[in-house]
Amino acid sequence: MASMISLLSLHSLLVLVLVQSTHSAIIPEPKNSIAEPKPDRPWSSDHTYIVQTNHLAKPSKFATLERWYASMVDTYSPRATTATDRILYTYGTVMHGFTVRLTDGEARRMSTVPGVTHVYKDRVYHTQTTRSPWFMGLHDDFGAWPDSEFGDGIIIGFIDTGIWPERASFNDTGLGPVRSTWRGNCVDAAGFNATLSCNNKLVGAKSFTTNMPDLEGYNDPSPRDIEGHGTHVSSTAAGAEVPWADLYGFSGGRASGVARNARIAMYKACVPDPLVGCPDSAVTAAIDAAVSDGVDLISLSLGGRPDDPFYNDPLAVATFGAVRRGVFVVLAGGNSGPGASSVSNVAPWMTTVGATTTDRVFPATLRLGNGVELTGQSLYTLKSKGTSMLQLVYSSCSEDDLTLDKVMGKVVVCTRMAGPGTGFYVEKAGGAGMVSPDGTNRFGDAVLALTFTLPGVMISHTAEKKLNDYMASSPYPVASFAFACETVTGENRAPMVAGFSSRGPSVLAPEILKPDLVAPGVNILAAWSGDAPPSSWDNDTRRVEFNILSGTSMACPHVAGAAALIKKVHGDWTPAMVRSALMTTAGPLDKNGRDMVDSGTVLGGAAMDATPLAAGAGLVLPRLAMDPGLVYDAGTQDYVDFLCTLNYTAKQMRQFAPEMSTGCGARSRIPGGVANVNYPSFVVVFRSSSADGGVRTLTRTVTKVSAKPETYNVTFAAPEGVAVTVTPTTLEFIRKNEKRSYTVEFSVQAQGKVRPAGTWDFGHISWENRKHRVRSPVAFNWQI
């Protein structure tokens, strides 16, 4: 998921968080970068496969799909065990098919069976708030919250690690019964009494982590969360109001989910094993169940695979099926920034979220022997105006390198990011403190605040360079710590795009701008599992009710909550309309009206503005998104045309649209390429290979969603040397739901600024009147 639990919840579960490994390599890895497939288990020649079928091709001799599936398994993969017992999951809502254990050879034979659309080898995803709703502009007495009744009745499905239902964030005081059309339920399991655990807030809880052969038959039928990630993200999006919440006194205050009256349905699809995480098969089954149960939207804080074609990605196929049925899906963009083209979950039917800071920090100071003070962040709990000066010593911070003779009585400076889990080993070796660099963030306001049990601080990349310079220049480098143990709000520049937040352009479809938008994802306080320590480290015996995590896993549920508020007021809107409202009203500026800064990028030591490749359309602002004026709508046919324009084969197209027996015709390909998908943002590529490489013309259609007649005039901004012509320049609307189209010609001027191939630059197009501003970011790329 995309949370960065204690280390940017650097682990690897559903949480685009960063967690810390429990193995000998103490350095945590991002729990939010769920993108990489894990190595196969060595003890078996069988693997789990998803067999996708075209249900329309079922032979008539089989009365049911299940009998057809059993016949396939018996014929092409005979075993002593019956086929019915071997089939792990069946899918029948967002896609059709089943999951079964096969050898590689059996999988190849299965892929040739008539009616089988595709066979996917099971892979793994990994998982990547007292102030953030208010930071996004939500108010109790006016605007989106009261207008939407705080999202009352909207049901959000979470595909995650489960839930800890006893937390105050899941109290249902004041909520009425769930709607009568809801088909979901809570499932009894050991340690999870459905009657006692579920209520009018938690209206569904199921587990898809039973009989998992890739984990030696791991079997956990309980939706209870033993990791913490699912509890955190669900309470961020839809947690009830809690009068007081804090972590060891930090971030104390009133807590609320973004849509505090929305209902929660938890679908547990992730297990606490770094080699298994969130398997494709379980995630697909969970999405299938959520849509069948009747959720309004799905929140997936899972990192995808940036370069995996959509036809080879069960998550892309399953979410396509969900959107086709009218379910809004929001996903974490990943924690692999600040490198270019690291963003995942980039299909145009997905809403993809990056992470920013808020205006809250937890400052701690490292005072060097030369008098320089470096400010970082820490959740260390012993207040001190200044410890004694202690020797600094470098370490790789692997367990083997943290020895008594090396670190006893010294402050360990880790050469890569490390968190509280590493701190336990530093303490064991007699270390007196630790310093961890956050190599992805250039500014201290954006680094992770971690629950160190010894004096410890996380510092930015910029501060790390100063520390390294000092240690290189001194024969006996020393430092002391100062911990105010306080929460400081409103004084730092915010929001900033977090350094870890994955960036565009998309590898698979660079002419679809991703991420779509950003939301708070750094040092977010939310509910936590009673089984998991705040550090997510096995040796940590501490237990807390709330925890502070970072990652795009944390940003994703903020947007899910905002979408729930919109769905409450605009129940007839399509998923694309909801996304458009969120994007075209998003804020590209910080709280003081300056351009948003990118903490992952600096030029010559100066802060750089966050481009749309990092921030998308900007920070989600739910109050404005409730009334966007105009929206860019799109539906199944638009997405089918998008895939056809990528030159997908007939067989590949049937994975998404089983009814397409003959594949794509000429009409299904978008004139001008995928950049002409009716998307709320633009990517303009000037190509030397085109007939007129210096000119691009794109078309969009907007739908009026406000009630009264309105006229909109266009404004735009473009880089030097690029001319923009919009036709028409005025759009007039009389009735709600009217549509108007416009074209934009972008042309490189003959005497304009010369840019090397591969250069990116940015601008925007806005349709405006006195009440509404419908703004779309524009990214320009030169391939001339």
Per residue in 735-765, pLDDT (tens digit) is: 999 999 999 999 998 777 778 889 999 999 9
Please report which confidence band the pLDDT of residue 269 belongs to, taking 50, 70 and 90 as the band edges: very high
pLDDT in tens, 409-458: 999 999 999 999 999 999 999 999 999 999 888 888 899 999 999 999 99
Cα distance between residue 158 and residue 259, in whole Å: 14
DSSP state of 714: E
Secondary structure string (H, E, C) spanning 344-375: CCCCCCCEEEEEECCCEECEEEEEECCCCEEE
Between CA 616 and CA 752 the distance in angstroms is: 26
| Contact status, residue 323 vs residue 298, Cβ threshold 8 Å | no
Please name which of 300, 176, 178, 303 lies closest in space to residue 237, comparing C-alpha atoms.
300
Whether the predicted pLDDT of 33 surpasses 90: no
Looking at residue 304, what is its pLDDT?
74
- For the chain, helix, strand, coil in percent to 5 are 25, 30, 50
Q: Quick one: tokens of 183?
A: 């088909």
Per-residue confidence (pLDDT) for residue 602, from 0 to 100: 67
Question: Rounded distance, CA 212 to CA 574, Å?
Answer: 36
pLDDT at 690: 55
Q: Are residues 354 and 517 in contact, defined by beta-carbon separation less than 8 angstroms?
A: yes
Q: How confident is the model at residue 148 (pLDDT cuts 50, 70, 90)?
A: very high
Tokens of 361: 């920090």
Look at residues 302, 128, 88 and name the one whose alpha carbon lies nearest to residue 214: 88
- Whether pLDDT at 32 is above 70: no
Alpha carbon distance 232, 553 (integer Å): 9
- The answer to whether residues 765 and 747 touch, using CB atoms and an 8 Å cutoff, is no
Compute the distance between CA of residue 510 and CA of residue 136 in angstroms, rounded to an integer: 29
Average pLDDT of the residues in 164-170 = 98
What local confidence, expressed as pLDDT, does residue 38 receive?
34
Per-residue model confidence (pLDDT) at position 691: 54
Closest CA to 324 of 575, 514, 573: 575
The encoded tokens of residue 34 equal 């769920």
Q: Can you tell me the distance from the alpha carbon of 81 to that of 100, in angstroms, rounded to the nearest whole number?
A: 12
The stretch 242-267 carries a mean pLDDT of 96
Examine the pLDDT at 37 and tell me if it is beyond 60.
no
SS (H, E, C) 63-132: CCHHHHHHHHHHHHCCCCCCHHHHCCEEEECCCEEEEEEECHHHHHHHCCCCCEEEEEECCEECECCCCH
Per-residue pLDDT tens over the stretch 609-648: 999 999 999 999 999 999 999 999 999 999 999 999 999 9
Q: How far apart are CA 427 and CA 432, in angstroms?
A: 7
The torsion of the CA quartet 167, 169, 175, 177, rounded to 10 degrees, works out to -50
pTM: 0.92
Is 489 exposed, middle or buried, given 0-12, 13-18 or 19+ CB atoms closer than 10 A? middle
Give residue 695's identity as a one-letter amino acid code. V
SS (H, E, C) 378-408: CCCCCCECCCCCEEEEEECCCHHHCCHHHHC
Residue 217: pLDDT band with limits 50, 70, 90: low
Residue 7 has pLDDT above 50, yes or no: no
Lowest-confidence segment of 29-33, 72-76, 500-504, 534-538 by average pLDDT? 29-33
Which residues on neighbouring strands pair with residue 116, listed in sequence order? 53
Backbone phi, psi, residue 743, to 5°: -120, 150
Residue 29 pLDDT > 70: no
- Percent share of the chain, pLDDT over 90: 79
Looking at residue 274, what is its pLDDT? 61
Give the β-pairing of 773-783 and 722-727: unpaired
* DSSP label of 38: P
Residue 405 has pLDDT above 90, yes or no: yes
User: pLDDT grade, residue 604 (50/70/90)?
Assistant: low
Query: Could you give the residue numbers annotated as active site?
Result: 160, 229, 553
Residues in contact with 770: Cβ distance below 8 Å, sequence separation at least 6, in sequence order: none
C-alpha span between 579 and 287 (Å, rounded): 19
Distance CA 389, CA 367 (A): 9
Among 171, 341, 335, 374, which Cα is nearest to 263's?
171
Tell me what the pLDDT averaged over the chain comes to. 90
The yes-or-no verdict on residue 31 having pLDDT over 90 is: no
Region 360-382 average pLDDT: 96
DSSP per residue, 238-280? HPPPEEEEEETTEEEEEE--TTTTSEEEEEE---S-TTTSEEH
Instruction: Extract long-range pairs of 208-212: CB within 8 Å, 24+ residues apart.
Output: 208/89, 208/267, 208/268, 208/269, 208/282, 208/283, 208/285, 208/286, 208/289, 209/268, 209/269, 209/270, 209/271, 209/282, 211/88, 212/271, 212/276, 212/279, 212/282
Query: Mapping DSSP to helix (H, G, I), strand (E, B) and coil, where does residue 587 land?
Result: strand
Instruction: Report the pLDDT value the prediction gives residue 283, as an integer from 0 to 100.
Output: 96
Burial classification of residue 696, based on how many CB atoms lie within 10 Å of its CB (0-12 exposed, 13-18 middle, 19 or more buried)? buried
What pLDDT score does 5 carry? 39
Whether 7 contacts 450, CB under 8 Å: yes
pLDDT exceeds 70 at position 273: no
Contact 329, 298 (CB under 8 A): yes
Q: Structure tokens of 267?
A: 């679908």
Three-state DSSP class for residue 465: helix
The pLDDT of 401-410, averaged and rounded, is 96
Q: Which of the four pLDDT bands, split at 50, 70 and 90, describes residue 692?
A: low
The single-letter code of the amino acid at 299 is S
**Which range among 33-37, 124-128, 188-192, 752-756 shows the weakest confidence by mean pLDDT?**
33-37
